[in-house]
Amino acid sequence: MVEFRIDRRSGVATYLQIVQQVKQALRLGLLAPGDKLPTAKEVVAATAINPNTVLKAYRELDREGLVEGRPGLGTFVRRSLARPGAAADSPLRAELAGWMDRARAAGLDREDVAALVASVLEDTRFDDPRGPWGGGPEAGNGRARTGNGTT
């Protein structure tokens, strides 16, 4: 089960925050296929948001094939977004950590690094069958917050 964190001042539509947090949980393995998402009633009882917002988010996730609603039972995860290459112990992560060390040694601060990474990301083409809006947490709005504060 996941817990959603709604930031009312983020400027990101509330339903999109839920979509992004579910995707982030799928990426990090907090949610796996077969897991049940909290019901709309459970979410609104915890977050005090409009139930239609939760249902709209679940419909969007359903549309993208990530979850499915089973009438009378709830909404369940259909597939994971976790990729071996993005895991905590992957070689890609180790390389990136090494690069971060070199960036810091070269005198770059946190914001310089973030700007550099964002600019390289911007110049890189990713093949995404779901189009520009189907992708990662950056879809829609870069200011989005994800479930556990990582970006």
Partner 1 sequence: MTDLTFLPDRTALEAAGLGVRYRRGGWALRACSFRLPAGRVCALVGPNGAGKSTLLALAAGLLRPTEGRLRVLGGEAGDPGVRPRVAYLGQDRPLYPDFTVAETLRLGRELNPGHWDQAAAERLVHGGNLSLHARVGSLSGGQRTRVALALAFGKRPELLLLDEPMSDLDPLVRHETTAALMAEAAENATTVLMASHVLAELDAVCDYLLLVSDGRVRLAGEIEDLISAHRLVMGRYEDAGTPREFAAHTIVEARTTGRQLTALIRPDGPVRGHWEIAEPSLEELLLAHLRAPGAPALLTPSAEPRTPLDASPKAAA
Binding site for partner 1 (CB under 8 A): 6, 8, 11, 14, 39-41, 44-56, 58-59, 62, 69, 71, 74-75
* Other beta carbons less than 10 A from residue 137's beta carbon: 19
Q: Which is nearer to partner 1, 80 or 141 (CB)?
A: 141
Question: 72 in the Ramachandran plot: left (φ > 0), alpha (ψ -120 to 50) or beta?
Answer: left
CA–CA gap between residue 136 and residue 10 (Å, rounded): 18
In the complex, what is the shortest distance from the CB of residue 38 to partner 1, in angstroms, rounded to a whole number?
11
Which residue in the block uniquely carries the two structure tokens 């409009």? 50
Give yes or no for a contact between 37 and 50, defined as CB atoms under 8 angstroms apart. Answer: no
Q: Where are the alpha helices (DSSP H) in the chain?
A: 14-28, 40-47, 51-63, 91-105, 110-123
CB of 123 to partner 1, least distance (A): 25
The CB-of-63 to partner 1 minimum distance in angstroms stands at 11
- Smallest gap from Cβ 69 to partner 1, in A, equals 4
